[in-house]
Structure 1
Amino acid sequence: MRARLGRPRRWYLGLAAICLIGLGIRLFYLFHWLHPAAVQGDPFYYHEAANLFADGRGWPDPYELRLSGRYVADAQHPPLTSLLLAVPSVLGFTSFLSHQLFSCLLGVGAIVLVALAGRRVAGPATGLVAGGIAAVYPGMWLNDPLVMSETTGILTCAWIILAAYRFVDRRGFAEAGWLGLALAAVMLARAELALLALVLVVPLVATAPGVAWRRRAALLAVAAVTSVAGIAPWAAYNLARFHEPEYLSTGLGSTLAVTHCPATYSGRDLGWWSFDCVLALPPPPVERSERDAFYRHAAFDYIRDHSDRLPTVAAARLGRTWGVYHPWQQVRLDTIELRPLSLSRLGMVTLWVLEVAAVGGVVVLRRRRTPLLPLLAVPVTLSLATVVVYGTTRFRAAAEPAVVLLAAVAITAAAGRLAGPARSRVRRIAGGRPMRSETDQGYPT
């Protein structure tokens, strides 16, 4: 009994060691490559928005405030990343380095959630393998010290995968509420992932086996209510301060505007984005919801006039996101976000290995009759969102936990198959008697 009680403790000790390795890698990356950093672009937005919120100044456009001193209400990005970064800000740690360090800790939190999800999906060994991959795989940590929303996206997507499998196990009202809350967190991290409501939550709850349809409806209602409650404060805040209805973000229009124009529909930047798109447009309104609508209408007009190019553009976007269309050009383009070129190349090669292993993981789980929807929903959703907007490496970040988990399943299964014949040979050599380690440690023989 004592030995069996010790096994979970050893598992958590192993996870703690993996987390320390993951933290060490993130800190080495930060101080060796990125410190001191030029604070610009999206990292500047998240950093400044966190400090402004911690100072009680609400949610203005930090760029406008810095350049002109004007306070302009804004929701260019959903709030969760800056809300989390506001935690150290409230405690007095307002420097960009403080936010970089805190973001690295969020990355370690993602390691924990990935390991817990792996343990649920395919056992303790798979959990530790998944955690180990999450600790060292560049796709899981390249964004952390950059202070990007991809870190929050990875964290929340690992959470929703774990919450989905928890619902599969128990199918109770508490589990449905937990799933809805995870969905709200995902939406507050990355607005495009609101599609997970239709791709994951609704089908998972509505098709729960062995549950009466009335109970399924009640479970779905609980998930919906908790999800709406999670995003309601932010949505209500936006509805009260903008001229046009805005719920999660005012950033869709500007994103579409830089991705639907001649520069991104053909040539070198096919499937990516370009500032040339917005430079060709008239000056937009200052008020952010009106600006969002202005850019959306301009993008939709271009899409209608060039619909014949959409299949080609969509394929290029999808290929860029998953590393199969001009991958070396894409890693060079990624340097605009301050990603070191050598590490981006390492991440791309590692991605290809994990993608192949992930396909094997799908096969293994299908043979075991383990539900696959929680692991496939995020990659599918991310792919749909990529087709609509543009292809880039960082958009794939939210799907990395699913890729890591599926790869870990395949690796653990392969290791088990290879170890099986070796154990059989040892037993034959020992005359069929159990090994000393098996009996003394209380493991089943």
Structure 2
Amino acid sequence: MTETATAPVPAEIPETGGPWPRSQRWWLLLVLIVAVGLGVRLWYLFGWMHPVVVQGDPLYYHQAANLFADGRGWPDPYELKLNHRYVPDAQHPPLTSALLALPSLVGLTTFLEHQVFDCLLGTLTILVVALTGRRAAGPAAGLVAGGLAAVYPGMWINDPLLMSETTGILACSMVLWLAYRFWDRRGYLDAALLGLATAAAALARAELLLLSVFLVTPLVLMARAPGGLPVAEAATASWGRRAGMLAAAGAACVLAIAPWAVYNLTRFNEPEYLSTGLGTTLAVTHCDTTYHGPFLGWWDFKCILKIKNEPTERSERDVFYREAAYRYIGDHKAELPKVALARAGRTWGVFRPFQQVRFDTIESRPAGLSKAALFSLWVLMAAGAVGAVLLRRRRALLLPLLALPVALTVASTMVYGTSRFRAVAEPAVVLLAAVAFASIRARFVPRGRHSGSRATARAEQAGQEREHPQAPAPAL
């Protein structure tokens, strides 16, 4: 990985030939895009997803939010609803239900009201993605990224379902934005904010803690301090500063997760930190029917039914199911590469994609919209590959946009493959594709049409809208 200094580029270039400065026009267009995105999500909700049978994970998140808002802690909502037993539980990390508890606190407790709130969270993601694209590759790329986030089905198909994917997408979008912000500023506070966002992602989906390994750690270790010192002193100071910033990011991440982890340690018999759901997940994904045949790489609830005498206490049950899955894995090690590839292929829509569309209907995803999301994904992945090459050629920061899909893919290979697991990596796909589409736009829009447009085009082509343009840009 090499680093090169780049020429400063003004953060905002005013345009004097029209009634609005260029920066104000950018924000007006973004407001319009966000409004369109909200309209799409509400159309999907009221046109497709209401009314809907409330069951499975959506029921869990909905009921857990209301229970938490009522001050009843975090029990298993299924047990409470069906058997009237209060059983402490952490089947899912808490962030999704904790956010849904916000409308519950003001009396908005119905499933529909929670669906609308989730659509608002999804709409907020559009803003964050646009800001990330603007910071990473210029104003045009930011607007294109926002537009894609507004209308691409992969970014909104989960919103009215009341699943953790909406929260995960928003958290991962914040991670990407703060990663670029950190790279521009290279400060301890910026590192801590990046660690905090990583913790939020993990509290939405536990496997996203992998971002601390695939993104935060390498990004911080790549960040050199500003120059001005002799070479030897600068190298020593730079590594010391990197270590300090990495410690700040780690401390912020740990402190954010600590209240939930400590709460779990006080109420379960076995140590649990983020979730008690790993054992159940492994139990339904490691068996004969998921290693062979039509369910290869997916899950099968019949797997867990074959495991008898499971404990009632949730942490003990988690350990029980994990040990059963590990035994099966140990007996079928030779088949793991095949299964892992099938899982990754299902997640990214390249292994039995239309079968996966049928499987997705189990989670209330309309088959027609799932197909539209699949075809759109293929287009965006092709454009994203071009966008990655363009960023590489510009020596712009590429690591965050690659680390998120890689971390998600690794997590998917360890559990199972499904379209919704891909959701949290969709912002990176959208941003990479936006770079390619913005580059096409720059080739065909005359640069001299407006005053100041030449300088702006150079800024967009270089991917350089920086708050601190003196910071060096890496090759990766």
Equivalents in 1 of 2:27, 2:171: separation in Å?
21
Per the alignment, residue 238 of structure 2 pairs with 212
Does 2:195 correspond to 1:180? yes
Deviation at 1:372, TM superposition (A): 1.1
- How high is the TM-score relative to the length of structure 1? 0.94
Map 1:4-403 → 2, pairs under 5 A: 6-210=21-225, 212-403=238-429
Deviation at 1:13, TM superposition (A): 1.1
Per the alignment, residue 438 of structure 1 pairs with 451
Equivalents in 1 of 2:188, 2:159: separation in Å?
34
Provide Cα deviations, 1:323-377, integer angstroms capped at 9, x if missing partner: 0000000000000000001000100000000000010011000000012111111
- Give the aligned residue type for 2:153: P
- Give the aligned residue type for 1:61: D
Instruction: Tell me if structure 1 keeps the 8 A contact 2:74–2:88.
Output: yes
Equivalents in 2 of 1:439, 1:156: separation in Å?
36
More relative contact order in 1 or in 2 (CA 8 Å, sep 6+)? Answer: 2
Equivalents in 1 of 2:341, 2:218: separation in Å?
27
Q: Which has the higher helix share?
A: 1
- Of the three residues 391, 394, 404, the one matched with 2:430 is 404
Deviation at 1:397, TM superposition (A): 0.4
Instruction: Tell me if structure 1 keeps the 8 A contact 2:14–2:23.
Output: no
Equivalents in 2 of 1:138, 1:279: separation in Å?
35
- Give the aligned residue type for 1:325: F
- Give the aligned residue type for 1:314: A
- SS of 2:275 mapped into structure 1: coil
Per the alignment, residue 427 of structure 1 pairs with none
Equivalents in 2 of 1:392, 1:231: separation in Å?
27
Equivalents in 2 of 1:202, 1:443: separation in Å?
33
Deviation at 1:277, TM superposition (A): 0.7
- Give the aligned residue type for 2:139: P
Instruction: Tell me if structure 2 keeps the 8 A contact 1:264–1:273.
Output: yes
Change (3 A) 1:215 1:280: same
Equivalents in 2 of 1:402, 1:331: separation in Å?
22
Equivalents in 2 of 1:345, 1:41: separation in Å?
23
Change (3 A) 1:414 1:439: closer
Equivalents in 1 of 2:374, 2:62: separation in Å?
28
**Higher deviation after alignment, 115-124 or 210-219:** 210-219
Equivalents in 1 of 2:313, 2:211: separation in Å?
30
Deviation at 1:441, TM superposition (A): 12
Change (3 A) 1:280 1:56: same
Instruction: Tell me if structure 1 keeps the 8 A contact 2:343–2:417.
Output: yes
Change (3 A) 1:330 1:441: closer
Instruction: Tell me if structure 1 keeps the 8 A contact 2:442–2:457.
Output: no
Deviation at 1:442, TM superposition (A): 11
- Give the aligned residue type for 2:220: V
Equivalents in 2 of 1:312, 1:225: separation in Å?
38
- SS of 1:298 mapped into structure 2: helix
- Give the aligned residue type for 2:172: C
Instruction: Tell me if structure 1 keeps the 8 A contact 2:15–2:452.
Output: no
- Give the aligned residue type for 2:143: L
Length, aligned pairs only: 432
Instruction: Tell me if structure 1 keeps the 8 A contact 2:346–2:419.
Output: yes
- SS of 2:217 mapped into structure 1: helix
Provide Cα deviations, 1:25-54, integer angstroms capped at 9, x if missing partner: 111111111101110000000000000000
- How high is the TM-score relative to the length of structure 2? 0.88
Equivalents in 1 of 2:453, 2:269: separation in Å?
71
Deviation at 1:417, TM superposition (A): 2.2
- SS of 2:377 mapped into structure 1: helix
Provide Cα deviations, 1:387-423, integer angstroms capped at 9, x if missing partner: 100000000000000000000001111221233xxx3
Per the alignment, residue 9 of structure 2 pairs with none
RMSD: 1.7
Instruction: Tell me if structure 2 keeps the 8 A contact 1:3–1:441.
Output: no
Instruction: Tell me if structure 1 keeps the 8 A contact 2:75–2:89.
Output: yes
Instruction: Tell me if structure 2 keeps the 8 A contact 1:3–1:442.
Output: no
- Give the aligned residue type for 1:339: R
Deviation at 1:207, TM superposition (A): 2.1
Change (3 A) 1:150 1:442: closer
Change (3 A) 1:262 1:380: same
Flag structure 2 segments of 5+ consecutive residues without an equivalent.
1-12, 226-236, 459-476
Per the alignment, residue 430 of structure 1 pairs with none
**Higher deviation after alignment, 180-189 or 409-418:** 409-418
- Give the aligned residue type for 1:176: A
Equivalents in 1 of 2:370, 2:346: separation in Å?
13
Flag structure 1 segments of 5+ consecutive residues without an equivalent.
425-433
- SS of 2:262 mapped into structure 1: helix
Change (3 A) 1:7 1:247: same
Work out the percentage of aligned pairs sharing the same amino acid.
Answer: 62
Deviation at 1:6, TM superposition (A): 2.5
Change (3 A) 1:46 1:17: same
- SS of 2:299 mapped into structure 1: coil
Equivalents in 1 of 2:273, 2:172: separation in Å?
20
